[in-house]
Structure 1
Amino acid sequence: MRYLNQLLASVALLLVALSAQAATGVFPKSTFDNLDYGLYWFGYGDSWQKAVPGQSNAYYNTSKPTILYVHGWQNGATARQSRETFNRKDAGGPDLDLANSWLNAGYNVGILYWNQFADEGEVKDAEAKIWTASGPKAMRWRNSAGNYSNGPSKSAADLLFDSYKANLAGYTGSNIRIAGHSLGNQMAIVLTKKISDAVNAGTVSSKLLPKRVALLDPFYSNWGKSYLGNKWVGEVCRTYVSELKTKGVIFEAYRTSAATSTVFVGDANTGLLKMTAFTELKPWYFQSWQQAEKHNAAVWHYLWSHSFNAPAISGSSLLGASAKTSDSRIKDLMNGTQKLVHDLGAYSKEPSDDTFKLQNR
């Protein structure tokens, strides 16, 4: 049984690694030959421009609402010269530019990249870099030839925080949303905590504090970590989320697969999910063994759901959770005692026909 469990764990982790697929050739080879990370702004058709402090950007306006996506584990992605973007067809999603609806609604749309740090064969080695610069593999990064080089002396979360605060320093809008997938949900939480601490310290504007954070099929590894004083990453994330909620940050979470929450692979962290507006999506258009595709569905389903009206709840006049659902309604769901479970539309990829039912958490 022990060896079977180990085999199941290895298979499930492989599925998580395979889920980090994206279109190849969107970025030049130099992006993968040399260390490159931080904030990129996107326009229509997966066009992009890297954010550089003090320089104008064709895809960024200081007063617009903003959505930022954070990817997760990227095992092998650098050798493929691959980065996640807003077309998710290679990950089982629609052949669409999922930024369109957001751009049409007047949003700045961006991605916070840490892909070369996240390119590790062991997910826990990539995970550690979110929290510390002195974990098992320190802050080494991978190039397109598959070779590792020594990295900076700051954690990946600190590096993304530096990029965030430098490039949004003049932000005057009132609504920033961060969406983190898989391992990237930890990055989203830690980054938001760093922003909140900086707001409290008076070193950044309160306008930079995200109003809403979406956790997309989140992953937390098992067991205590020495770099966290032997606490579990999920435990620390719960502490952060609890504190951030008192600062007005709204949390929503969507689970689409078993790849990150089986007892053999990761910490289901049900305590944290109960602190959020939590939805269980059922991507039954994939087969039971297609866990990588199901894991990826959380990203494109959430982004795509912004194109449609907020979903209905069966037998109720209230609305369910989606990217289009208002902040106030997500807050009500977050502070309630029930979760949402996919009811109708589970066999259709398009979110427009989704309805949900309420169940006790």
Structure 2
Amino acid sequence: MTKTIQKFLSFSVLIFSSSFAAAAQDTLDYGLYWFDENNTSVKAIEQDGTVNNVSLNYFDPTKPTIIHFHGWQNGSSQNNYSREDFLFDYNGENVITSASWKVRDWNIAYFYWNQLADEAEVKDAEAKIWTPNGPRGMRYRLNDGSYRTALSPNKSVSDIAFEQITSVLSGSTSYYVRLSGHSLGSQLATNVTKKISDAVYNGTVGNNLTVDRLELLDPFWSADPKSYLGDANGDGNTDWVGEHARWDIQTLIDRHNLPVTWYKSSGILDIWIGDRNTILEGMVTFIHNRFWYLSGPDFVNKHNQVVPWYFRSMASNAPEEVTITWWGARRTTGKLAASARTSDSRIQEMMGDRYHWDQVEGRYTTDPSDDQFERKNY
């Protein structure tokens, strides 16, 4: 389960005034890590591009693969380089969410960029997804709170992830790849999906690497134009990151009929620095998760709980879709709503601006097995 964002997510600049007796060791680690059913991980590829030989229990090229991208990690380095994983530990529950994926013969991985994402200002971490030449370059944080550049990569996080994933999966014979991203990580997952699609189209990677599904877990795009993006569409205005996400997703839908789901679990985009990106809602399958076991104003934990909800949802059947009858009662439609278990074809069927889905059952429990979602007209 996420350990760092819940504790440190804050949309204000933090000032660290602590002094340290000695400088931290200059170290930087990032990249793809495979997980097993016990939440144990191994590094998939070294920073020099060497692909590690790992046991089939971690990665089997004949099996489908899901890779998850975390988001902003403000303060995680000072917490002993704390990283997210697949352990959900909440209110006495202790669930390893990767286990249900492994038992269904999936490869499951995290792409870590935690030291690079450890910025007091979320927009500084966001820029690194797109460019190595943003306001903070590609600096990284150490466990004494200082920033360094000696070991900084010379490319964006999206380019790093693209290169690592295409190298590691080059021999995959399952022909199935799914990417998911949480918060800022949704931008990273989208960018990598588009880069892979471009590479497949220009023949530099095989079509066995084409991403088959994209999952946006309470995504975040900051508001306002970004100088590092320029004006890609030539409309005379500097682009927003949310615009680029829409353009890339539209291209991916046009090229591949790509199933894309947006799981909205909080009001994180409703605060002053977020881009609501409402046009995108009508392009994808749009889901409202209602985590009412958390207090109403607790948008931070509601934002983060979507990650364990999604990965835990592989353990149960896809949730039922319901509608409201004219006399106010609920009835099942015989169709399914969205979760990790829902088929790609059903996600494709749900996409567009005709309906969205709102969670009406299972709102007071963390287990997705009792969830229902009401189909609503836009």
Describe how 1:166-177 pairs up with structure 2 within 5 A.
Answer: 166-177=167-178
Stretches of structure 2 that go unaligned for 5 or more consecutive residues are 1-5, 12-24, 231-237, 323-330
1:121 alignment partner, SS class: coil
Q: Could you tell me whether the CA contact under 8 Å between 2:9 and 2:73 is conserved in 1?
A: no
Q: Could you tell me whether the CA contact under 8 Å between 1:221 and 1:233 is conserved in 2?
A: yes
Q: TM-score, normalised by structure 1?
A: 0.89
- RMSD value, Cα: 1.8
Letter in 1 for 2:314: H
Q: Report the equivalent of 1:231.
A: 239
Q: State the distance in 2 between where 1:94 and 1:292 align.
A: 19
Question: CA distance change for structure 1 residues 14 and 137 in 2, over 3 Å: closer, same or farther?
Answer: farther
Q: Cα deviations across residues 273-323 of structure 1 (Å, max 9, x unaligned)?
A: 221111001100000122111011110111111111011111311111111
* Greater share of residues in helix: 1
Q: Report the equivalent of 2:277.
A: 269
Q: Could you tell me whether the CA contact under 8 Å between 2:180 and 2:217 is conserved in 1?
A: yes
Q: State the distance in 1 between where 2:114 and 2:96 align.
A: 21
Q: Report the equivalent of 1:82.
A: 82
Q: State the distance in 1 between where 2:362 and 2:371 align.
A: 4
Letter in 2 for 1:265: I
Describe how 1:322-361 pairs up with structure 2 within 5 A.
Answer: 322-335=339-352, 337-361=354-378
1:74 alignment partner, SS class: coil
Question: CA distance change for structure 1 residues 355 and 33 in 2, over 3 Å: closer, same or farther?
Answer: farther
**Worse-superposed segment, 44-53 or 129-138:** 44-53
Describe how 1:212-231 pairs up with structure 2 within 5 A.
Answer: 212-229=213-230, 230-231=238-239
Letter in 2 for 1:333: M
Q: Could you tell me whether the CA contact under 8 Å between 1:196 and 1:209 is conserved in 2?
A: yes
Identity of aligned residues (%): 42
Q: State the distance in 1 between where 2:145 and 2:164 align.
A: 25
Q: Report the equivalent of 2:40.
A: 47
Letter in 1 for 2:375: L
- 1:14 is displaced (CA, Å) by 9.0
Q: Report the equivalent of 1:21.
A: none
- After TM superposition, where is structure 1 displaced by more than 2 Å over at least 4 residues in a row? 13-18, 52-55
Q: Could you tell me whether the CA contact under 8 Å between 2:43 and 2:52 is conserved in 1?
A: no
- 1:179 is displaced (CA, Å) by 0.8
- 1:335 is displaced (CA, Å) by 4.1
Q: State the distance in 1 between where 2:158 and 2:97 align.
A: 26
1:359 alignment partner, SS class: strand
Q: Report the equivalent of 2:53.
A: 56
In the alignment of these two chains, the number of paired residues is: 334
Q: Could you tell me whether the CA contact under 8 Å between 1:33 and 1:145 is conserved in 2?
A: no
Q: Could you tell me whether the CA contact under 8 Å between 2:361 and 2:373 is conserved in 1?
A: yes
Q: State the distance in 2 between where 1:351 and 1:35 align.
A: 36
Q: Report the equivalent of 1:129.
A: 128
Describe how 1:184-199 pairs up with structure 2 within 5 A.
Answer: 184-199=185-200
Question: CA distance change for structure 1 residues 246 and 227 in 2, over 3 Å: closer, same or farther?
Answer: same
**Worse-superposed segment, 302-311 or 330-339:** 330-339
Q: TM-score, normalised by structure 2?
A: 0.85
Letter in 1 for 2:248: Y
2:263 alignment partner, SS class: strand
Letter in 1 for 2:136: K
- 1:199 is displaced (CA, Å) by 0.8
Q: Could you tell me whether the CA contact under 8 Å between 1:16 and 1:295 is conserved in 2?
A: no
1:85 alignment partner, SS class: coil
Q: Does 1:251 align with 2:296?
A: no
Q: State the distance in 1 between where 2:143 and 2:93 align.
A: 28
Q: State the distance in 1 between where 2:299 and 2:88 align.
A: 16
Q: Report the equivalent of 2:337.
A: 320
Letter in 2 for 1:257: S
Q: Could you tell me whether the CA contact under 8 Å between 1:87 and 1:94 is conserved in 2?
A: no
Q: Could you tell me whether the CA contact under 8 Å between 1:41 and 1:110 is conserved in 2?
A: yes
Q: Cα deviations across residues 207-235 of structure 1 (Å, max 9, x unaligned)?
A: 11110010000001000111111211001
**Worse-superposed segment, 273-282 or 81-90:** 81-90
Question: CA distance change for structure 1 residues 188 and 93 in 2, over 3 Å: closer, same or farther?
Answer: farther
Question: CA distance change for structure 1 residues 39 and 14 in 2, over 3 Å: closer, same or farther?
Answer: closer
2:270 alignment partner, SS class: coil
Describe how 1:296-311 pairs up with structure 2 within 5 A.
Answer: 296-311=304-319
1:271 alignment partner, SS class: helix
